[in-house]
């Protein structure tokens, strides 16, 4: 009886929401994951939405898949990046709240209901986003690490955010249009166009909320080459450029003080390891640096341990150290390219 009462209460609550959503999914050769993405939306507890799939120049059967789910199909010349596809979808959307979902993301069945409830109950809310869940679709080590890291960072971030995430996020259409939509001139490929949009919203005095219960499964399979390429060229370098041109971004999400000290400690440890080949006593520096980095990140590694066990937690330590190395190197390179021309002048 209790379960029946709970289900009846949930159904009644959903009926009280009268908010229409425009769900926009950009896709480029997404036939591997798109069926699961669209099937999850079909299973949503909230169904008052239109479905717009924006094809970004696919050469596979992504369009046919979207048609089979009765989606409205738009064609964006491409590949021109997801920002351009989302902008096109927004321009053709019929309703007041835009919901952006990536084609390789499977939303939980309460996501649309939560979004509608947030915007209906809070008229001052400009944008809303969630995080990946703890059940990545790909089972290999790098995919598990990458997606669980995303989950951990978002779950420990400030709920009053100054960023945005378009993998599973929503925004009022009029505000999205008024701030100029996604910046496709600066970000013509998958990058930090959503982070930059969030910063623009925040600087405009608009409120963004991170709902930590707004969860979605990520299906993407990461390999070392694709992970490093995406982290460096699509995130670290453009994010560093954004940080250096806009004040206040340095302590947001995973670029806080703890991460900066961890990156420095990792470089000290690596330097001590190299010198240790000539001067064995320097190896103590490597050990101390490792202890420092592990201590600073004990919450993250404890999370890995609790969720996937000690073997997994130990296995991802070198991956996370590598992340600190190439991310900080990217920041240093961007800073150097901006500082040295100024010195020459």
Residue 155 lies in a domain: yes
Indicate the pLDDT class of residue 8, thresholds 50, 70 and 90: very low
Looking at 222, 247, 274, the residue that finishes a domain is 222
Among the residue ranges 136-145, 185-194, 273-282, 331-340, the one predicted with the least confidence is 331-340
At residue 251, the pLDDT reads 56
Q: Is residue 248 part of a domain?
A: yes
Q: Which of 112, 41, 54 is nearest to 86 (CA)?
A: 54
**Any domain includes 334:** yes
The verdict on 243 and 263 lying in the same domain is yes
Give the Cα separation of 315 and 194 in Å (integer). 31
| 52: β partners | 24, 72
User: Is residue 213 situated within a structural domain?
Assistant: yes
Q: Classify each residue of 95-116 as buried b or exposed e, where b means 16 or more C-beta atoms within 10 Å of its C-beta.
A: eebbbbbbbbbbbbebbbbbbb
Which of 191, 222, 253 delimits the end of a domain? 222
For residue range 283-312, list pLDDT tens digits in order.
Answer: 999 999 999 999 999 999 999 999 999 999
Judge contact between 217 and 105, C-beta under 8 A.
Answer: yes
Tell me the residue range of the domain where 314 lies: 223-340
Residue 1 located in a structural domain:
no
Residue at 279 is within a domain: yes
Residues 215 and 313 reside in one and the same domain = no
Number of domains composing the chain = 2
Helices (H), the chain: 2-15, 34-42, 62-68, 82-91, 111-121, 141-155, 173-178, 193-203, 224-229, 237-245, 257-276, 283-296, 298-308, 310-315, 317-344
Burial of 281 (0-12, 13-18, 19+ CB in 10 A): exposed
Are 205 and 267 in a shared domain? Answer: no
For residues 48 and 183, membership in a common domain is answered with yes
230 with 189, same domain: the answer is: no
What are the tens digits of pLDDT across the range 76-124? 987 788 999 999 999 999 999 999 999 999 999 999 999 999 999 999 9
Does any domain span residue 266?
yes
For residues 282 and 323, state if they share a domain.
yes
Report the alpha-carbon distance of residue 29 to residue 78 in Å, rounded.
11
| Residue spans of alpha helices (H) in 214-316 | 224-229, 237-245, 257-276, 283-296, 298-308, 310-315
DSSP lists the bridge partners of residue 168 as: 101
pLDDT at 345: 44
Tell whether 78 and 100 lie within a shared domain: yes
Co-location of 137 and 275 in the same domain: no
Mean pLDDT of 5-16: 48
Per the document, the length of the chain is 345
CATH classification at residue 30: 3.90.550.10
Same domain (yes/no): 151, 214: yes
186 and 210 both lie in a single domain: yes
Q: Report cis status (omega within 30 of 0) of the bond before 161.
A: no
Beta-strand pair 49-55/72-75: parallel
Same domain, 298 and 150: no
The DSSP secondary structure of 95-106, one letter per residue, reads SSEEEEE-TTEE
Asked whether residue 341 carries a pLDDT value surpassing 90, the answer given is no
Q: Do residue 252 and residue 145 come from a single domain?
A: no
CB-based contact 304:316 (threshold 8 Å): yes
CB 208, CB 201: distance < 8 Å: yes
Q: What's this model's pTM, rounded to 2 decimal places?
A: 0.90
Q: Which two tokens stand for residue 250?
A: 């340095």
- Residue matched to tokens 């990217």: 330
- 271 domain residue, yes or no: yes
> Which of 172, 205, 222 is a domain's end point?
222
């Amino acid at each position: 009886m209790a379960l029946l009462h709970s289900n009846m209460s949930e159904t009644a609550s959903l009926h009280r929401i009268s908010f229409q959503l425009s769900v926009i999914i950009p896709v480029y050769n997404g036939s591997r994951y798109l069926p699961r993405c669209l099937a999850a939306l079909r299973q949503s507890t909230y169904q008052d939405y239109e479905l717009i799939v924006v094809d970004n120049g696919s050469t596979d059967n992504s369009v046919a898949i979207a048609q089979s789910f009765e989606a409205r199909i738009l064609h964006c010349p491409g590949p021109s990046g997801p920002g351009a596809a989302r902008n096109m979808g927004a321009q053709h959307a019929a309703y007041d709240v835009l919901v952006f979902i990536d084609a390789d993301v499977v939303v939980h069945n309460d996501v649309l209901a939560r979004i509608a409830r947030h915007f209906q109950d809070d008229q001052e809310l400009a944008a809303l986003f969630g995080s990946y869940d703890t059940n990545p679709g790909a089972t290999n080590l790098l995919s598990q690490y990458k997606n669980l890291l995303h989950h951990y960072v978002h779950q420990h971030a400030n709920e009053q955010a100054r960023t945005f995430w378009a993998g599973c996020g929503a925004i009022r259409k009029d505000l999205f249009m008024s701030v100029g939509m996604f910046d496709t001139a600066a970000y013509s490929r998958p990058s930090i166009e959503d982070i930059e949009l969030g910063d623009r919203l925040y600087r405009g005095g608009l409120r963004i909320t991170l709902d930590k219960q707004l969860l979605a499964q990520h299906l993407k399979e990461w390999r070392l080459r694709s992970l490093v390429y995406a982290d460096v060229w699509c995130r670290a370098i453009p994010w560093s450029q954004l940080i250096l041109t806009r004040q206040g971004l340095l302590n947001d999400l995973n670029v806080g003080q703890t991460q900066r000290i961890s990156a420095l400690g990792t470089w000290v440890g690596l330097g001590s390891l190299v010198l240790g080949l000539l001067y064995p006593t320097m190896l103590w520096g490597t050990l101390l640096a490792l202890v420092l980095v592990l201590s600073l990140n004990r919450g993250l590694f404890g999370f890995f341990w609790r969720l996937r066990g000690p073997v997994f937690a130990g296995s991802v330590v070198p991956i996370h150290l590598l992340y600190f190395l190439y991310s900080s190197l990217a920041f240093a390179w961007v800073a150097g390219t901006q500082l040295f021309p100024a010195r020459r002048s």
